[in-house]
Every structure is written in structure tokens, then in C-alpha cells.
Amino acid sequence: MNKKDITVNKLKSLGEIILEDVEKNSVPAIKVPSRGTSNIVYDEDKRYYVLGDRYGRRSLGNVKQISKIAQMVYVANFCKDLVRRGKTATLREMYYVSEGWDVEFGDQQESNIVGEDLEVTLGMTREDLGLMPEEDGASVYGNITIQDDDVEINALKAGKSGYTISPTIDEVQFVDHDVKRVIAVETMGMFHRMVQEDAYNKFDTLIVGLKGQAARATRRFLKRVNEELKLPVYIMNDGDPWGFHIAMVIISGSAKLAHVNHQLATPDAKFIGVTASDIINYDLPTDPLKDIDVLRLKELSKDPRYRDEAWQMEIKKMLKIGKKAEQQSFSKYGLEYVVDTYLPEKLEQME
């Protein structure tokens, strides 16, 4: 049975559960895994957040839950139609399509949450269900050839902006590659700097421009190249708590997506910098930490994903110096410095 048939059958099973209860003269109910904070657990062995074993029960016998079940059934039926026809829809499109349904959503956030309820209930990703986010995936530049439907694309020949990761990245096949590692950078400014300075050749690397917080498709791409192609993944972000967080979501996933972290997290990925130590060692231009930065750093220090001694040291050091730095701050020493000096030194330390 192919993935499409599996998805359709799982979606149909939601309605069959309700029908079976009706035939038994029982009040129809659906079990939905709890996504409350008390049911989100950091798994030390897997090195990412997972859902615990608690479930909620949505019953048509509870007046307050009738609309919730109706919303889930409508969304499931919409997704079943998408998958059967080989189509996709953005979350925004689904929200507007729902305007013609006999159930209502207060706003798009409410319909998004129902989509997440559906994926956690069925044990499938929203992308499997045909639902796509609005944001693009990252840009990839380097010598890798992928096949998307019947088209082969080499990311080294797709223009200076590279190949844009598809939201349906699981349907993409890796045909060939000639690289030894992957370097993901937070900003497109750094992505283009690395392309211009021939970093893909100097380091035998794929360059991935994250565009800020990495989209789900980007995280899935990084996990796939790490596991399927055995390529080490390195992350270079701004030297501030937000850059730390962007890196950690790639490495250990997020609490919000605990139900799909097994498909998104890349626990063996490594954070190159910019670290607090880099700020000191390279005498980088800085900005003072704001109150919100300090608060966020203190939150990170208590987060189980940052228990590692190296992370704790960098967080404490940043709090001590009271400064942060952008990844472009290496330009103080010339545009080429980050590729000619910083990255070679850091990669040598880490490899």
C-alpha cells in the first residue's frame, strides 16, 4: 500500500470510528493525544521533545465538544479530497474554503489548531494530509541533484539563489551529491556572502539559507540529508538568544511540534556560532543585551535542551558580557573574513 492510500485510509478511519459508535448506540467520541505542556516530555535518549501517553476524549455527548468534532471531521474530509486528487492547499486557503462549510472557525489560528489536532490524532504530518504553510522553505546552494516529480534539479546550477526547498520535501528524491557537509546560516545576507566567496567549493558543502526560524520543510530537509546522505550538519546564526533558539529547534525540535519531532529534529547537528566566546575571541562589533534578551537567555538556561555543558557556558558568558552580535559582524575584518578565516578555524575545532 502506497503512502497516498495509507493517508486516505487513516482519514476515513476517523469517520468510521464515529459510525461504529452510532451503530453500537454509543455516544461517538474521538481520542486525541494531549498536547498540553504536562504531556510534552524531553526524551534524553532521543534528544528531542516527544508527546507523553495522555489522551483527551472528545465526545458528542458533551455540548461544548460537538463543534470541535465537527471541525475535525470537515477538515479530515477536505484533506481526504486533497490527497485523493493529488492536490495541496495552504493553511490560509483551507481557512477560506471553510467559509463554505456548515461549521465555523473564529479565525485562521483556530483552523490551524484543528489541523494540528488531526495530524497528532492520525500520527501523520500536515504535509502528508496535503496542508502546506505559507512560508517558503530555505534556499540550498551546492552540488546536490534532486528529483522533484519528473524534473531533475542541481542546486549548483539553479542560479545564485539556489534551489528552494519544496513544502513536499518528502516526495523529493536525492539523486546524487558531491559534498561532505552542510552549513546552514540564519540570514540570506550570509547565504549570499558564502555563495560569492565560493564557500561551497572551499568546504565541499551545501549552503542552506534558513531565512530566520527554519520552516518545517527546511528542518525535514536537514534531517534527511543528515540521515540518508550521512552529511554532518552545522548551523551558524546570530550570536543572541534568538539565534541560539533557531539552532536548537533544528537540533532538538520544539515543544509545540513534539508529535512530529521524530521527523524534524536533527540531534547530531552542531552549532558553529556566533557564540559568546566568538564575540570575545574575535573582538566582534556588538550591541548591548536588552531586557528581553536577558530574560530569554535565563529561560534557555533552564530548558532541558540546553543542559549540555558547552551551551550552559555560552549562555552564562553572554549574560556576563551583556552583549550580542550578528553573524555579519565579521565584516569588520573584510567581507571575505568569515569564509577565509572564521569558518575554517571553527570547522577545524569541531571536526
**For all residues of the chain together, what is the average pLDDT?**
93
CA 100-101-106 angle, 5° bins: 90
- Helix 63-85, helix 3-23: angle, nearest 10: 150
Q: In 3D, which of 62, 60, 67 has the Cα closest to residue 101?
A: 67
Q: pLDDT per residue over 135-173, tens digit each?
A: 777 899 999 999 988 899 999 998 888 999 988 898 899
State which amino acid sits at residue 267: P
Q: Over range 185-196, report the average pLDDT.
A: 95
Confidence of residue 75 (pLDDT cuts 50, 70, 90): very high
CA 207 from centroid of its chain's CA atoms: 17
pLDDT of residue 110: 93
pLDDT of residue 61: 85
Residue 240 near residue 251 (C-beta atoms within 8 A): no
Which of 25-29, 139-143, 220-224 is predicted least confidently?
25-29
**Strand pairing category for 205-209 and 163-164:** unpaired
Confidence of residue 134 (pLDDT cuts 50, 70, 90): confident
Confidence of residue 196 (pLDDT cuts 50, 70, 90): very high
pLDDT of residue 302: 95
Contacts for 94-98: CB closer than 8 Å, 24+ residues apart: 94/131, 98/74
pLDDT of residue 107: 92
Q: In 3D, which of 328, 318, 146, 349 has the Cα closest to residue 234?
A: 349
pLDDT of residue 197: 95
For 274, the grid coordinates are 556566533
Residue 141 near residue 191 (C-beta atoms within 8 A): yes
Confidence of residue 192 (pLDDT cuts 50, 70, 90): very high
Which residues are part of the catalytic machinery?
96
The CATH architecture of the domain made up of 3-132 is: Orthogonal Bundle (1.10)
pLDDT at 276 over 90: yes
What are the CA-CA distances from residue 209 to residues 131, 182, 183 (Å)? Answer: 23, 11, 9
pLDDT of residue 313: 97
Can you give the residue ranges of every domain in the chain? Answer: 3-132, 139-350
Q: Over range 179-185, report the average pLDDT.
A: 97
**Which uninterrupted H or E stretch holds 324?**
strand 323-324
Helix, coil or strand: residue 288: strand
CATH code of the domain made up of 139-350: 3.40.1360.10
Q: How far apart are CA 278 and CA 269, in angstroms?
A: 19
Confidence of residue 185 (pLDDT cuts 50, 70, 90): very high
Confidence of residue 326 (pLDDT cuts 50, 70, 90): very high
Q: How far apart are CA 248 and CA 251, in angstroms?
A: 5
Residue 130 near residue 88 (C-beta atoms within 8 A): yes
pLDDT of residue 150: 86
pLDDT at 111 over 90: yes
What are the CA-CA distances from residue 204 to residues 143, 154, 164 (Å)? Answer: 8, 15, 20
Q: In 3D, which of 67, 114, 121, 122 has the Cα closest to residue 91?
A: 114
pLDDT of residue 286: 97
Percent of the chain with pLDDT over 70: 100
Q: pLDDT per residue over 292-303, tens digit each?
A: 999 999 999 999
